[in-house]
């Protein structure tokens, strides 16, 4: 467990190797909000940038190699090395865009469409993530996800 709810996210992590998930509890039920893997940056965004208690958990799903920087050190770098602000802006834009895509998917797409989008845009997650976590992320049941995984591509398009 990288971060537990109720704790302040003190670090932002770069994932060299591995797979992590972020989740929160809703009525004692785990709800997966996102997955990050090699080449991604991960933190509990609100907790890290506001330095307040997190409502989220961050958990490694695979053996992972993470590199991290503290909130204090990142602030120092931004203040003393202005060229690093460009890197920060690029990262914010990338992850803001991903966040907007996830919100659109949740608001506008049915479970089948969310699954197809994930299969198209991030097919290795379909293979690497445990079915119960993937179903939670997609907002569908494990049984429905199992059925979707078992169907041939052409059949899904006709639904």
| CATH for 16 | 2.60.120.10
Residue 33 in any domain: the answer is: yes
Residue 6 in any domain: the answer is: yes
When pLDDT is averaged across residues 53-65 and rounded to a whole number, the result is 98
Residue 131 in any domain: the answer is: no
Confidence check: pLDDT of 54 > 90: yes
Residue 135 in any domain: the answer is: no
Predicted confidence band at 52 (pLDDT cuts at 50, 70, 90)?
Answer: very high
Can you read off the two tokens belonging to residue 53?
């208690």
Can you read off the two tokens belonging to residue 59?
């958990």
Residue 12 in any domain: the answer is: yes
Contact 77, 26 (CB under 8 A): no
Q: How many CB atoms are located within 10 Å of the residue 107 CB?
A: 7
Residue 94 in any domain: the answer is: no
What pLDDT is stored for residue 156 in this prediction?
A: 47
Can you read off the two tokens belonging to residue 133?
């976590």
Domain holding 61, by residue range, is: 1-83
Number of domains into which the chain is organized: 1
Residue 10 in any domain: the answer is: yes
Are β-strands 57-60 and 19-26 bridged in parallel, bridged antiparallel, or unpaired?
antiparallel
pTM: 0.84
Residues 69-78 have pLDDT tens digits of: 999 999 999 9
- As a dihedral over the C-alpha atoms of residue 51, residue 47, residue 59, residue 62, rounded to 10 degrees, the angle is -80
When pLDDT is averaged across residues 78-101 and rounded to a whole number, the result is 89
φ/ψ region of 56 (left if φ > 0, alpha if ψ in -120 to 50, else beta) reads beta
User: What value, to the nearest 5°, has the Cα angle with vertex 60 and ends 139 and 119?
Assistant: 40
Predicted confidence band at 94 (pLDDT cuts at 50, 70, 90)?
Answer: confident
Residue 117 in any domain: the answer is: no
First to last CA, the chain: 39
Q: Which helix (H) or strand (E) holds 43?
A: none
């Amino acid at each position: 467990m990288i971060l537990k709810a109720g704790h302040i996210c003190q670090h932002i992590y770069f994932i060299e190797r591995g797979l992590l998930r972020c989740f929160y509890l809703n009525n004692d039920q785990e709800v997966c909000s996102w997955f990050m893997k090699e080449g991604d940056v991960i933190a509990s965004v609100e907790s890290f940038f506001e330095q307040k208690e997190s409502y989220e958990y961050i958990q490694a799903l695979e053996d992972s190699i993470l590199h991290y920087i503290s909130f204090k050190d990142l602030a120092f770098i931004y203040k003393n090395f202005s060229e690093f602000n460009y890197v920060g802006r690029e990262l914010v834009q990338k992850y803001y865009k991903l966040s907007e895509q996830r919100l659109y998917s949740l608001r506008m797409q049915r479970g089948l469409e969310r699954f197809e989008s994930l299969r198209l845009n991030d097919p290795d997650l379909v293979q690497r993530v445990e079915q119960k976590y993937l179903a939670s992320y997609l907002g569908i049941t494990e049984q429905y996800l199992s059925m979707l995984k078992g169907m041939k591509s052409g059949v899904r398009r006709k639904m």
